[in-house]
């Protein structure tokens, strides 16, 4: 798949600089294995390109699978560290989108030099830094918070997916992130992006449910939707399912 994408892009006379990936993946929610990360690193070295790994959901995982950062792989094997760059932020794992804090982790001095210059125009305020240093220095709190958060995400994910399954809507087997990837291909009025957007508009305007259509996530197969379940309370799930049922016409009701 990597070779095919690379060759097709080159045929369009586009110069390829690197591979962008999210791990855990957004919107599907799967985790990249160590073997897959090794394959990506070997491919990048072969093609002389870089890898930018977005690991903003690294602490929001659940299930039995273990999250493996590309930093662990590049640090344990004989790979070129200068071509690997990791981005992270506090908005997901710690639910602090308002602080607007992001990080770049790289061994490449050119990338770091450019990042340092950019911080002059997008620096984190002193009050925010003081607050975050105090919070992140409390190791016990952070460990307990992440553990509790993982459990709550898993519980909400299981509850939400079970509700969709009662409506005949299946989801991919996700392992991380704050979303589930729902298969609504059988519910779109016509096969194609137009039919997908028609269902999205109906869910929004009639059901008052705002899901993200797959086309907004560059999904090439129409009928997939990203559902964010972490903004809900448990009591909200039944309400959401009833609204979806009203739109799609399922006779199954939420108990």
The last residue of one of the domains, among 78, 104, 137, is 137
pLDDT of residue 64: 79
Residues 20 and 126 in one domain: yes
Residues 213 and 240 in one domain: yes
> Domain holding 219: CATH number?
3.90.1150.10
Residues 102 and 146 in one domain: no
pLDDT tens sequence for the chain (255 residues): 899 999 999 999 999 999 999 999 999 999 999 999 999 999 999 999 999 999 999 999 987 788 999 999 998 888 999 999 999 999 999 989 888 899 999 989 999 999 999 888 888 999 999 999 999 999 999 999 999 999 999 999 999 999 999 999 999 999 999 999 999 999 999 999 999 999 999 999 999 999 999 999 999 999 999 999 998 999 999 999 999 999 987 544 454
Instruction: Give ∠ CA 247-231-170 in degrees, rounded to 5.
Output: 45
Q: What's the domain range around 237?
A: 142-250
Residues 180 and 90 in one domain: no
Residue 50 CA to residue 38 CA, distance in Å, equals 14
Residues 157 and 60 in one domain: no
| Residue 173 contacts residue 199 (beta carbons within 8 Å) | no
Domain count, the chain: 2
50-54/84-89 β-pairing: parallel
Q: Is 255 inside any structural domain?
A: no
Residues 186 and 128 in one domain: no
Residues 147 and 131 in one domain: no
The last residue of one of the domains, among 137, 162, 181, is 137
The last residue of one of the domains, among 91, 121, 137, is 137
* Torsion angle of C-alpha atoms 228, 230, 232, 237, degrees rounded to 10: 70
> Domain holding 129: CATH number?
3.40.640.10
Q: Please give the biggest Cα pair distance in the chain.
A: 60
């Amino acid at each position: 798949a990597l070779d095919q994408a690379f060759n097709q892009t080159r045929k369009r006379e586009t110069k390829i600089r690197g591979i962008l990936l999210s791990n855990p993946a957004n919107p599907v929610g799967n985790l990249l294995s160590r073997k897959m990360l090794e394959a990506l690193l070997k491919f990048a070295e072969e093609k002389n390109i870089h890898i930018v790994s977005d690991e903003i959901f690294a602490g929001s995982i659940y299930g039995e699978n273990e999250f493996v950062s590309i930093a662990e792989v590049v640090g344990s094997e004989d790979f070129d560290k200068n071509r690997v760059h990791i981005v992270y932020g506090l908005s997901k794992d710690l639910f602090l989108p308002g602080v607007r804090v992001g990080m770049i982790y790289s061994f490449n001095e050119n990338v770091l030099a450019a990042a340092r210059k950019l911080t002059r125009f997008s620096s984190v305020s002193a009050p925010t830094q003081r607050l975050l240093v105090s919070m992140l220095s409390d190791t016990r709190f952070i460990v307990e918070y992440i553990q509790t958060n993982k459990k709550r995400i898993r519980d909400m994910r299981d509850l939400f997916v079970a509700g969709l399954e009662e409506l005949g809507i299946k989801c991919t087997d996700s392992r991380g992130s704050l979303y589930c990837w729902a298969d609504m291909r059988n519910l779109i009025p016509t096969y194609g992006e137009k039919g997908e957007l028609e269902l999205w508009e109906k869910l929004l305007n009639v059901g008052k449910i705002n899901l993200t259509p797959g086309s907004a996530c560059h999904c090439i197969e129409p009928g997939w939707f990203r559902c964010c379940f972490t903004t809900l309370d448990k009591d909200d799930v039944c309400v959401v399912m009833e609204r979806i049922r009203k739109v799609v016409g399922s006779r199954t009701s939420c108990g």
